[in-house]
Amino acid sequence: MMEPVSATSLLNPTAAPRGANSFEDLGSSDFLKLLLTQLTNQDPMEPTGNEELLRQISSIREIELSTTLTESLRLLTGQQHVTASSAMIGQYVTGMPGADGNAIRGIVSGVRFVDGGRAVLLLSNGTELPLEQVSTIEPPLRAAEALIGQSVIGLDARDPKNPQLVEGLVTGARLDEKGEALLELDSGGDLRMRDVITVTAADSE
């Protein structure tokens, strides 16, 4: 299991480890120190001209502004990842098909963030789906209606102490009194959308 990410890495998804002597680690204050050292140790017979001095000071200012802009963009990107992934909680999502042709799908019950601030959606059926692999997002009832005529297999967990494996052909869809999307099966029973494990076309059996 991956280590939990810190708030810093969450809001700074593009941050990556750098070497101790990386040039990118130098800030404007470091360049000012270098400039002062250069002026202190310059050849008194050939001092740095005003034009060259102003050019170097201007470069330092540009570095400072660039660093500030970069950090602001990183922060904004991280916040957008948090907002976008959190908005999917309670929605039915489908991932892009894998090498086997099957796609991960289910109702989003939570979100976790891995190294680099990447969002991974936690689905109610126990699977996980990286945010960048999501292909469709739908309200649960609409997704349930789209499954009419298809075969499903699920683990009915309405009684956590006695979960039951359920399978059948979907004949209808509805919401219960709690607003939970239910699939009506040809067996006469029903299955919550959140408990669906696999979906197959009826004529593929």
Q: What is the CATH number of the domain that holds 161?
A: 2.30.30
Range in 17-21, 109-113, 122-126, 148-152 the model is least confident about: 17-21
Confidence (pLDDT) at 12:
47
Angle formed at CA 14 by CA 11 and CA 20, multiple of 5 degrees? 105
Separation of alpha carbons 67 and 178, rounded Å? 50
Assess whether 1 and 99 both reside in one domain.
Answer: yes
| Residue after which a domain boundary falls, among 90, 121, 138 | 138
56, two tokens? 């170097």
Confidence (pLDDT) at 100:
77
Domain that holds residue 154: 140-204
Assess whether 144 and 95 both reside in one domain.
Answer: no
Average of per-residue pLDDT values in the chain: 75
Q: Are 107 and 123 in contact (CB under 8 A)?
A: yes
pTM of the model: 0.53
Return the closest-CA partner of residue 199 out of 107, 105, 131.
105
Assess whether 130 and 150 both reside in one domain.
Answer: no
| Residue after which a domain boundary falls, among 98, 117, 138 | 138
Instruction: Give pLDDT tens digits for 139-190.
Output: 999 989 999 999 999 999 888 899 899 999 999 999 988 888 999 999 889 9
pLDDT band for position 88 (50/70/90)? Answer: confident
Instruction: Give pLDDT tens digits for 101-114.
Output: 778 888 898 888 88
- Give the chain's end-to-end CA distance (angstroms, integer): 36
| Residue after which a domain boundary falls, among 138, 163, 183 | 138
Q: Are 105 and 94 in contact (CB under 8 A)?
A: yes
Instruction: Give pLDDT tens digits for 35-53.
Output: 667 656 665 555 555 566 6
Confidence (pLDDT) at 67:
65
Assess whether 59 and 123 both reside in one domain.
Answer: yes
Q: Which has more confidence, 65 or 178?
A: 178
Assess whether 159 and 113 both reside in one domain.
Answer: no
Confidence (pLDDT) at 157:
86
Return the closest-CA partner of residue 169 out of 155, 138, 190.
190
Confidence (pLDDT) at 151:
93
Assess whether 125 and 157 both reside in one domain.
Answer: no
In the DSSP assignment, the letter for residue 72 is H
Assess whether 66 and 125 both reside in one domain.
Answer: yes
Return the closest-CA partner of residue 32 out of 56, 51, 48, 54.
56
Q: Which has more confidence, 155 or 17?
A: 155
Domain total of the chain = 2
In the chain, how long is the greatest CA-to-CA distance?
98
Separation of alpha carbons 92 and 185, rounded Å? 19
Separation of alpha carbons 102 and 66, rounded Å? 45
Assess whether 148 and 133 both reside in one domain.
Answer: no
Q: Are 28 and 60 in contact (CB under 8 A)?
A: yes
